[in-house]
Amino acid sequence: MEFKHTPIMLEEVIENLNINPDGIYVDGTMGGAGHSEAIVKRLSKEGTLIGIDRDKDALNASHERLEKFENVRYVWGKHEDLKDILEGMGIKKVDGILLDLGLSSYQIDEESRGFSYTKKAPLDMRMNKEQELTAKTVINTYSKEELADIFFKYGEENYSKKIASKIVEHREKEEIEDTSTLCDIIRASVPKGKDAVDSFKRIFQAVRIEVNGELKDLEKTIKEGIEILNEGGRFCILTFHSLEDRIVKNAFLDMQGKCTCPKDFPVCVCGAKSFGKVITKKPIVPSIEEQETNSRSKSCKLRVFEREKEHAVR
């Protein structure tokens, strides 16, 4: 299957990266290289783009798409390891970082990956197909309490306990092997008269996040990424649900810095530091036109941080 992905808010991302043609840029979630291509087109021969992805299919597709560019370096890895990856390349500072935390159209549409609740497929959901943990393992081996916790914490699902109970009840008879069976169980757990589709979305999101550890080190990635930005460099992050957006928002605010001393203190004694400023006081969202032409953009939010010289908050 051809690796297809429509880059969301492409113009907004490029504008907010404020690209220096001779700079070093990192696409920490390279995917199908939609954003990457737009970045590297704006770089001179002195500039460099580093593309990171945990999905080898994505990296291979990106390499084909960008084969005419000689200043792209491809890395099979996770954005959580950004700092170590750059250190291994001998790079101490970069001029911009992009994270697109959404799934690619290829990953959603490729039936064998098991990301979509609309197609019967094996319970997989791995972004890195070489890792051991799969959705099948989560659904068939986690305890009822663990499943309910994951469904509520990562999916904000109201019927998390009932769905977890039904899963355990079903697997005592036979193993749950595919997405359709999981959907049947979810449907049977939702009260009559309620649309099960929203629960499908929330449970699949929760399991996917657990399988890939998507939220585990996101805050670490953001804070370490900001620290390695050159002064004036920008960090752009596209989020697709409230959980990851909340992490991004709070991490940006932490790095912007906030003095916690009482207002009547003449000087700051809490030691709060600022590493820059949040550019997007409110997140940027896709235009109505983009939402109409690409339904997968509807939940997307773009937040941007700009690095400044480290200084005390007050």
What's the pLDDT at 262?
84
State whether CATH 3.40.50.150 applies to domain 10-101+216-312.
yes
What's the pLDDT at 265?
82
Give Cα separations from 100 to 34, 67, 92, 155 (angstroms).
Answer: 11, 22, 23, 19
User: What is the DSSP secondary-structure string of 74-122?
Assistant: EEES-GGGHHHHHHHTT---EEEEEEE-SPPHHHHH-GGG---TTS--B
Q: Which two tokens stand for residue 106?
A: 């290829």
d(Cα 191, Cα 204) in Å, to the nearest integer? 19
Q: Which of 21, 10, 13 is nearest to 43 (CA)?
A: 21
User: pLDDT-derived band of residue 192, with 50, 70 and 90 as boundaries?
Assistant: confident
Superfamily of domain 130-212, CATH level 4: Putative methyltransferase TM0872, insert domain (1.10.150.170)
What's the pLDDT at 201?
93
Q: Where in the chain is the domain with CATH 3.40.50.150?
A: 10-101+216-312
Amino acid, res. 301: K
User: pLDDT-derived band of residue 105, with 50, 70 and 90 as boundaries?
Assistant: low
Amino acid, res. 255: M
User: pLDDT-derived band of residue 1, with 50, 70 and 90 as boundaries?
Assistant: very low
What's the pLDDT at 104?
63
Termini Cα distance of the chain: 55
Q: Which two tokens stand for residue 261?
A: 């001393």
What number of H helices and E strands is found in the chain? 13, 7
What's the pLDDT at 296?
85
Beta partners for residue 48, in sequence order: 24
d(Cα 314, Cα 267) in Å, to the nearest integer? 7
Residue 279, Cβ neighbours under 10 Å: how many?
Answer: 17
Contact 286, 297 (CB under 8 A): yes
Q: In this predicted model, what pLDDT tens digit does every residue of 120-174 receive, in sequence order?
A: 999 999 988 889 999 999 999 999 999 999 999 999 999 999 999 999 999 999 9
Mean pLDDT of 57-78: 94
The pTM assigned to this predicted structure is: 0.87
Q: Where in the chain is the domain with CATH 1.10.150.170?
A: 130-212
By DSSP bridging, strand 24-27 and strand 94-100 are parallel
Stronger pLDDT, 107 or 72, i.e. the higher one: 72
